[in-house]
Structure 1
Amino acid sequence: MFNDMMHILTTQSGDILTALREHILLSLMAIVIATVIALPLAIALMNHRRAGEWVLQVAGVIQTIPSLAILGALIPLVGIGTVPAVIALVLYAIMPIFQNAYAGLTGIDPILLEAADAFGLSKRFKLFRVQLPLALPMIMSGLRIAMVMIIGTATLAALIGGGGLGTFIMLGIQTNNNAELLIGAILSAALALAFSWGIRLLSKLSVRRIGVLLVSAVVIIGGFAGYRAINQPAGTITIAGKLGGEPEILINMYKDLIQADNPKMDVQLKPNFGGTTFIFKALQGGQVDVYPEFTGTVLQSLVKVKGSISHDKQTAYKQAKTLIKQQHNLDLLEPMKYENTYGLAVRQADAKRYHLQTTSDLLRQSAQMTAGFDPDFYKLSDGYPGLKKAYGLNFKNIVQMESSLRYEALANKQIDVTDAYTTDPQLKQDHLVTLADDKHFFPPYQGAPLVNDKTLQKYPGIAKSLNKLSGKITNQDMIEMNYQVTVQHKKAAQVARTYLVKRGLIQ
């Protein structure tokens, strides 16, 4: 494990520093904005107890809303990237800052306040020289709590293209790469400790100096945000990809193909964007112009299909292309050759020993085999229940296990067969064989670019560039490329370009 972590640190140091910088920026922006909102609000309401309690209840309700729900709701309103991430973090940070500041200000001994009034102190002088200094320990405690909460929650920004250390955590979970996961988690924890220590040092300063630092932070962050907004290039095409090595390979191919035909076109990539729901909303809202999707996902999750889904590749693609255009005004361009669909995988030695090439071949041996399935695959009708009915499979024993563990269990002979995605790099890494779905039970999942129609109207040449991948990339090609990125930790951009050059698709 240590060697794996050191390898990632040396080969991906640039990506790690970028993610760390993004995480720090997100956290600083959120804590400063939340403080600017919550602290004045606590001061304004410290003499209005009923209103203060009402604000506390509202802030408490916001905290109970799942962060993913807030991020999903913000995408149609403010787009993707840093803005929705900061808004969500601010909403979560307001509660501890306001609560502690309000409690500190309202908990001051009334005798001290009466003494201040007896000396004839003005309200402003009393606030800055008496009330805020006395409440400062509670205020700083609230800031520390909020900061730790922000740094932890900021890892979810990766799901909407906001970057940060969450990218490594999400990738580590998805690919069962504990080294990547630990790097993201350890750096997040270290960042939380560093900020907590910094706030503790800050608490030793006077109220006036803290105020000066807060105002300076607001000016610097506001100026930086304004600079980025002004200098955002016009006419940019944004290509996003879901979590994982495969989508990152494809979006780099898309970029290279587009820029090969249009060298002056500005193309921005947003890898590891998150799940289908987030990226699809971003495409509909115009924050993303293109992303790689699958025909099966379109038919199963993104459109309403009357009747059954065809298991013929060409028919399924035409059906998906027609329905996504009719229902969402999006364009599904021509598909590649490979399919990333479900399949059953066995060890290579067992495939040779029992002459297993298709799922039907498994029937004569299944009674002596133990299967290990992902819980969703085991329960859903389009998973094992339907597969069992179609092929008549009857395993000796079936265990349910997390998807990240099933390949390891198969390689270690704890199980004999498992569900697999047909382009997973573990198939190559663990020398596994995917059995052909000879009865075509699983619907086709061919990869194809899904494009916003407005983008195609503005840049019609994009379709010609991306359609150069039509009929290209076999399952074996994709397994090999996934292996290079996920297991060998090669750069997705390098792997994508090498493929395109070898196939003569770019110079």
Structure 2
Amino acid sequence: MSNFVETLVSRQAELLKALVEHVEISLFSLLIAVLIALPVAILLTNNQRVAEFVLQITGILQTIPSLALLGLLIPLIGIGSGPAIVALVVYALFPILQSSYTGLIEIDDSLEEAAEAFGLSKMQKLIKLELPLALPMIIAGIRTATVMIIGTATLAALIGAGGLGTFILLGIDRNNINLILIGAISSALLAVIFNFGIRYLEKASGKKIAIVFGALMLILGGTFFYSSIGQREELTIAGKLGSEPDILINMYKELIEDQTDISVELKENFGKTTFLYNALKSAEIDLYPEFSGTILESFIKKEVTYSNNPKEVYELARDEIQDQDNFTFLDPMAYQNTYAVAVKRTFAEEYNLTSISDLKKVQNQLTAGFTLEFIDRQDGLKGLESLYGLKLTVKSMEPALRYQAIENGDVNVIDAYSTDSELKQYDLQILQDDQELFPPYQGAPLLRQETLAKYPELAAILNQLASKITEEEMSEMNYDVNVNGEAPSKVAHDYLVKHQLLSK
């Protein structure tokens, strides 16, 4: 409990920022959904056949898995809050539309006839009779949608939209239960607060509802204002999930702000590889650390052949990404964060395993825990099958979870990165890539050419890290963050000072 409180206190500024982002996304989505669903429900009361069709369609949309919907929206809208809001609106439409329509059509016919006898027009009848009578049902639908929106909005963190889901993702990545609890409990409390608040409106007058609606608009405007005054960036640097990208982007930030007047905003744990690449293409971010092997394997659309020579692979990646996307890939660091296949050291000793080829003699006993990205890559599971002839039973899982799985004995072979701190933490042994499946993965800043044209000094500043940071140093820094609990910013700062890239 004391560790939870300490984590909560140390991250209160981050929690406030995530909470504001979560409220902003959730409220905006809810208001849009209400403004769409309520008028549509009113129109549908005049045509039952059309109403059934529309309700069926909105119901079907709600069954689409949230991750799949986000994935479908990214190519159309990009990443960030845009696709998250669209997805949340889609999910909120059905409960609001269904409850509003049901409340309106179940009004007693005798009351409708009495209103007409008094000479009320359709609009007067709607405002003075139908909406007040249907209000409890309408509010009930809004309550259901609100709880669902707040819970689902945690997934917004997967596409760089922020919110309380960032704590959950970071907690999973760092194997930190306290961070997961902060994100989950905060989201649950937020849902409860909004649920009780909206429940109050079920018996409220139209005037009170208008006041509450106005208050929600003020809250939403306040969160946008808070976000705008909190953002002073001229340059946006993002990082993938994990401690290593966090450390690197903090180094970039310190070097840039120490040697220029440029202000930098960091988007830590921004998402997976494709999200950052698409964000860079759409100018939502300005640069992020990437690897030469990833550029050639994941981004370059044409077929390219290359050796396992690090210098040749880097130069090919640099030239191809420049030609294809007009991106600049700066000079690489010394270490290579290449893919690796790892087993428990005790397992390797028991079966005398030293190379990936050795796995073939025990493949019937193997259950592999691989990330989805590794499963889908040619220099991943596909290469293990074609080049090494391995036929493995494979479980797909998130990067951090595969380490827990091998520690618990749920799997006995995993994919890893050569600088992962968990290799030391869980006493794992990397098997030699004796058939040279994995290409070199040298890391360097990847940025838009427009950014470099605007800030030409960035190249010299960031290239100060070129040929620096060995695999041992990177692994130790990751260990300090993941195991010793040090902040990535402190680890980054200490390295820069130690190597005289910063004065203090």
Task: Place the TM-score, normalised by the shorter chain, in its bin.
Answer: 0.7 to 0.9
Deviation at 1:369, TM superposition (A): 11
Deviation at 1:496, TM superposition (A): 1.2
Could you say which residue in structure 1 is the equivalent of 2:294? Answer: 297
Question: CA–CA distance in 2 between the matches of 1:435 and 1:173?
Answer: 26
Q: Does the CA-based 8 Å contact 2:45-2:51 persist in structure 1? A: yes
Q: Does the CA-based 8 Å contact 1:370-1:398 persist in structure 2? A: no
Could you say which residue in structure 2 is the equivalent of 1:167? Answer: 166
Deviation at 1:236, TM superposition (A): 1.3
Question: CA–CA distance in 2 between the matches of 1:244 and 1:486?
Answer: 9
Amino acid at match of 2:133: L
Deviation at 1:391, TM superposition (A): 6.8
Could you say which residue in structure 2 is the equivalent of 1:144? Answer: 143
Residue 175 to residue 310, structure 1, CA distance change in 2 (3 Å): farther
Could you say which residue in structure 1 is the equivalent of 2:156? Answer: 157
Residue 179 to residue 366, structure 1, CA distance change in 2 (3 Å): farther
The residue correspondences of 1:53-68 to structure 2 (distance < 5 A) are 53=52, 55-68=54-67
Could you say which residue in structure 1 is the equivalent of 2:329? Answer: 332
Counterpart of 1:482 (choices 449, 471, 478) is: 478
Q: Does the CA-based 8 Å contact 2:167-2:182 persist in structure 1? A: yes
Could you say which residue in structure 2 is the equivalent of 1:374? Answer: 369
Could you say which residue in structure 2 is the equivalent of 1:205? Answer: 204
RMSD: 3.4
Could you say which residue in structure 2 is the equivalent of 1:245? Answer: 243
Question: CA–CA distance in 2 between the matches of 1:241 and 1:41?
Answer: 42
Counterpart of 2:425 (choices 402, 416, 429) is: 429
Amino acid at match of 1:153: T
Question: CA–CA distance in 2 between the matches of 1:26 and 1:364?
Answer: 48
* Counterpart check, 1:466 vs 2:466: no
Q: Deviations over 1:95-142 (max 9, x none)?
A: 221221122112212111111222334545433332122111210111
Deviation at 1:371, TM superposition (A): 4.4
Q: Secondary structure at the match of 2:240?
A: coil
Could you say which residue in structure 2 is the equivalent of 1:43? Answer: 42
The residue correspondences of 1:18-33 to structure 2 (distance < 5 A) are 18-33=17-32
Residue 444 to residue 215, structure 1, CA distance change in 2 (3 Å): same
Counterpart of 1:444 (choices 429, 440, 443) is: 440
Question: CA–CA distance in 2 between the matches of 1:372 and 1:112?
Answer: 67
Question: CA–CA distance in 2 between the matches of 1:193 and 1:422?
Answer: 44
Q: Secondary structure at the match of 1:311?
A: coil
The residue correspondences of 1:205-354 to structure 2 (distance < 5 A) are 205-222=204-221, 225=224, 236-262=234-260, 264-347=261-344
Question: CA–CA distance in 1 between the matches of 2:256 and 2:75?
Answer: 27
Question: CA–CA distance in 2 between the matches of 1:378 and 1:85?
Answer: 26
Moved more, 69-78 or 129-138: 69-78
Question: CA–CA distance in 2 between the matches of 1:422 and 1:392?
Answer: 23
Question: CA–CA distance in 2 between the matches of 1:129 and 1:417?
Answer: 68
Q: Secondary structure at the match of 1:271?
A: strand
Q: Deviations over 1:281-326 (max 9, x none)?
A: 1111111110111111111111124243421111111111111111
Question: CA–CA distance in 1 between the matches of 2:235 and 2:6?
Answer: 33
Residue 66 to residue 411, structure 1, CA distance change in 2 (3 Å): closer
The residue correspondences of 1:91-110 to structure 2 (distance < 5 A) are 91-110=90-109
* Counterpart check, 1:502 vs 2:490: no
Q: Secondary structure at the match of 1:286?
A: coil
Q: Secondary structure at the match of 2:341?
A: strand
Deviation at 1:210, TM superposition (A): 0.6
Moved more, 285-294 or 202-211: 202-211
Could you say which residue in structure 2 is the equivalent of 1:111? Answer: 110
Could you say which residue in structure 2 is the equivalent of 1:184? Answer: 183
Residue 355 to residue 500, structure 1, CA distance change in 2 (3 Å): farther
Deviation at 1:31, TM superposition (A): 1.5
Moved more, 456-465 or 165-174: 165-174
Question: CA–CA distance in 2 between the matches of 1:165 and 1:153?
Answer: 11
Q: Secondary structure at the match of 2:279?
A: helix
Question: CA–CA distance in 1 between the matches of 2:445 and 2:158?
Answer: 20
Q: Does the CA-based 8 Å contact 1:331-1:452 persist in structure 2? A: yes
Unpaired runs of 5+ in structure 1? none
Q: Secondary structure at the match of 2:270?
A: coil
Deviation at 1:11, TM superposition (A): 3.5
Residue 368 to residue 280, structure 1, CA distance change in 2 (3 Å): closer
Amino acid at match of 1:91: V
Q: Deviations over 1:399-454 (max 9, x none)?
A: 75745454345556787654322122211222334344355331112211110111
With the length of structure 1 as denominator, give the TM-score of the two structures: 0.86
Amino acid at match of 1:306: E
Question: CA–CA distance in 2 between the matches of 1:76 and 1:390?
Answer: 33
Question: CA–CA distance in 2 between the matches of 1:53 and 1:354?
Answer: 63
Q: Secondary structure at the match of 1:448?
A: strand
Question: CA–CA distance in 1 between the matches of 2:258 and 2:208?
Answer: 54
With the length of structure 2 as denominator, give the TM-score of the two structures: 0.87
Amino acid at match of 1:181: I
Unpaired runs of 5+ in structure 2? none
Question: CA–CA distance in 1 between the matches of 2:409 and 2:55?
Answer: 55
Question: CA–CA distance in 2 between the matches of 1:293 and 1:364?
Answer: 30
Question: CA–CA distance in 1 between the matches of 2:137 and 2:71?
Answer: 33
Could you say which residue in structure 2 is the equivalent of 1:492? Answer: 488
Q: Does the CA-based 8 Å contact 1:359-1:391 persist in structure 2? A: no
Residue 304 to residue 401, structure 1, CA distance change in 2 (3 Å): closer
Amino acid at match of 1:422: S
Deviation at 1:180, TM superposition (A): 2.9
Residue 477 to residue 370, structure 1, CA distance change in 2 (3 Å): farther
Deviation at 1:348, TM superposition (A): 5.3
Question: CA–CA distance in 2 between the matches of 1:44 and 1:379?
Answer: 47
Deviation at 1:232, TM superposition (A): 6.1
